[in-house]
Amino acid sequence: MADGERAEQLGEIIRRQRELSALSMRQFASLVGISNPYLSQIERGLREPSERVLEGIAKSLQISVAALREQAGMEVDAEAEVSPVEEAIRADVKLTGRQRQALLEVYRAFTAPAGRGRGRRGS
């Protein structure tokens, strides 16, 4: 996949995720800490975001950078191991794209490293 195609695919994914989060372009740009015109260029595939901006976008969307990269057909860090559960969710043809994404986000939230309330059983 050419760089322009990757940037376009990534921008489309970011736009869809922003819309699913019910955020305007202005609100989302403010959350990420970038200008509205820059976000517009990213979403239209005219510019590929820097790593810092991509991390801010992923954090604001509450998904991982790896998930954004993977959806855009970009190389994902080889160390980021995909679990059998994630593979099964992606392979299930009965699920829509939105359903897959929602299930992956829930699964990742439950399996994220310790922190935010995890490990408090029996309290």
pLDDT in tens, 60-106: 888 888 888 888 777 665 545 667 888 888 778 888 878 888 888 88
Tokens of residue 57, six digits: 């976008």
- Which domains, and CATH codes, for the chain? 3-77 (1.10.260.40), 81-113 (no CATH)
Residue 118 has pLDDT above 60, yes or no: no
- Closest by CA to 1, choosing from 64, 59, 72, 68, is 72
The stretch 13-19 carries a mean pLDDT of: 92
CA distances from 109 to 64, 76, 112, 114, 116 (A): 10, 19, 5, 10, 10
The stretch 11-35 carries a mean pLDDT of: 92
Residue 39 has pLDDT above 90, yes or no: yes
Tokens of residue 25, six digits: 């372009």
